[in-house]
Amino acid sequence: MFIHHHQNQTLLEQNSTNGHWNETSWRIQKHVFSGFSFLKGYRPPSVLEVFQPFILKDMVSVSSSSLKKSLEQQHLPKKVIEEFGLFENFTSTFQSSYRCIRYRLDLERKHFAHLFTTCLFENICFNRKGEWILFSKSPHAKEKSEKVWVQTNSYHALTGDIHRVRIKVLDPPSAVLVRGVNGTVPNLGNSNVMELSKNFKWIEKPTFGTSRHATSNIGHAILDNFALVFNSMINFDYVSPDSHLLFMDDMYPKIPGDTRTPELVKLHGDLATNSSLEWARRMTNLEPLQQGSNHVEGSFIKNAPCEFHGMNPNDAHAHEMDTCFSSFIVGSTGSMYSFIEGRESVITLFRKYLLRQLNVKPQKKFSKVFRIAIQNKPLHSINRDAIINVDKIVNYLRQNVTESEMLELANSVRGKHEPKYERVEIVNLKLERMSFEEQVQFFGDLDVYISTQGAASYMSLFMTKPNAVMFYVPMCFRHTLTCSDLNLKIHETWATEVKIVSLIHYTHLLECVKGNSDEEPGFKVTARVHSEPYGDCHERIDPKGLYHELISKALQRLL
């Protein structure tokens, strides 16, 4: 008989009711992944002794008692500890360093304001005024002081200040002052002293700074966000989960006049924030960080999520350092959604890295179940590109086509001594009801996937079964009644085992539905080249034609 899973049933429940699932699913492995050793040659600089008491493992500010104990261990007078803090001259030179990557293509676009594409900074600090401070006597660095060094958004045309990283270059300090546990500081006059706030912390592990773009959409999450962070990991030779991600933006616009991208404003703050946190925790083993601000602390860096609430412009201590980093990598190599050609190998490595982080590996044992899934996307999303009659397609495949017929077609191409399929599973797939980990496991054991051109199509990246097929439903336009598979260009660069068949060549099977109900009339469409990235009508697929012209061919490997 056909198996039709209810979508509120988790994969764990499927495992308990299906004796075949665990034979071929992507199983959780118990090893600990530490990164790709051949791409992890970079070592951050060691932390100077004076800063070592402030190295934080869990991003909790140093308490007064722990700081006092640390200072006492240095045999400082009690009065100095409690009233003035630690004032120490550097016995060795403390200075920053940097190396940057520059794409000349960026410089040719004259309206771009940033000097570099990505940079790695060592011993860089962030003060309560919201400034990034580089300590260097280099004239080359000083001539760039307070200029925009990099931009953090993947779309370089979105150049609001929230996406720009200005670097202020100062002479290396001759001494460091730790504010006393009572909050007082001595009068230092014009001394070249680096003052640390009472919440100061030193981040020892490499940290990757970025802004977010439409992170609730898996396609954008990969191609405009986290694959770009991974690209920087490769470029600076530190592909390792032993690192932090630092979000340098805010999903909740509150400051009047602050320039933020329309994409961020359109998204619900909670959805965008939660999605980005989930992705960050899959990419690295250390807690994600975020830049924020308020009227009491000024600018700061804490565990994400936190928000921008403005600052006190009259804060006398705004120059104090809130956080310093041994190694800070920041910038963006640019949207892969817009232009991926030549960088597709990054996606291949990113997939392997992500699967290692999730501790899953594909099983090679043959599955006796042939699985066909049709994506059932919510009809009220921002982009109108759902398959509007998924329920009818599923019912047709279950009621009008016998399982024995499908099994006969699928087994006809298997060798005499090869194991045979015993069941066919038809899945009405609602991805929003599955965790990302469940989705990865599901797609790792999927034979045929029918998806619209939107975010869900990118889950094909995790289809690894031999002879797997994705039927790609193009975007369609209500005013011209035409369709385009423009975004297929991204899938065509991926060297995966998945065969992709676009229904742009089968538009006679499609109709454009302008409303949000399958009961509404549909309009026949034709193929046409478009440059628009999104369509504006839902698609209705002829169930009978879909089976006889496409699914039956996939069963026989005739595509």
| 50-92 residue pLDDT tens | 888 888 765 544 444 455 555 555 544 444 444 445 566 665 6
First-to-final CA distance of the chain: 26
* Residue 444 to residues 8, 9, 439, Cα–Cα distance (Å): 20, 18, 8
- Give the per-residue pLDDT at 252: 66
Rounded to an integer, what distance in angstroms lies between the CA atom of residue 25 and that of residue 12? 11
Closest residue by Cα to residue 387 from 444, 456, 334:
456
Q: Which two tokens stand for residue 147?
A: 């200029």
Confidence of residue 341 (pLDDT cuts 50, 70, 90): confident
Residue of 364 and 63 predicted with greater confidence: 364
SS in 3 state form for 216-281?
CCHHHHHHHHHHHHHHHHHHCCCCCCCCEEEECCCCCCCCCCCCCCHHHHHCCHHHHHHHHHHHHH
* pLDDT tops 50 at residue 115: yes
Rounded to an integer, what distance in angstroms lies between the CA atom of residue 23 and that of residue 274? 33
Mean pLDDT is highest, among 41-45, 110-114, 221-225, 309-313, for 41-45
| 469-516 residue pLDDT tens | 999 999 999 999 999 999 898 888 887 889 999 999 999 999 999 999
Q: Are 448 and 469 in contact (CB under 8 A)?
A: yes
Sequence ranges of the domains in the chain: 11-30+362-555, 98-173+200-354
Rounded to an integer, what distance in angstroms lies between the CA atom of residue 44 and that of residue 208? 13
| 159-190 residue pLDDT tens | 566 788 999 999 999 888 876 555 555 555 55
Rounded to an integer, what distance in angstroms lies between the CA atom of residue 325 and that of residue 63? 20
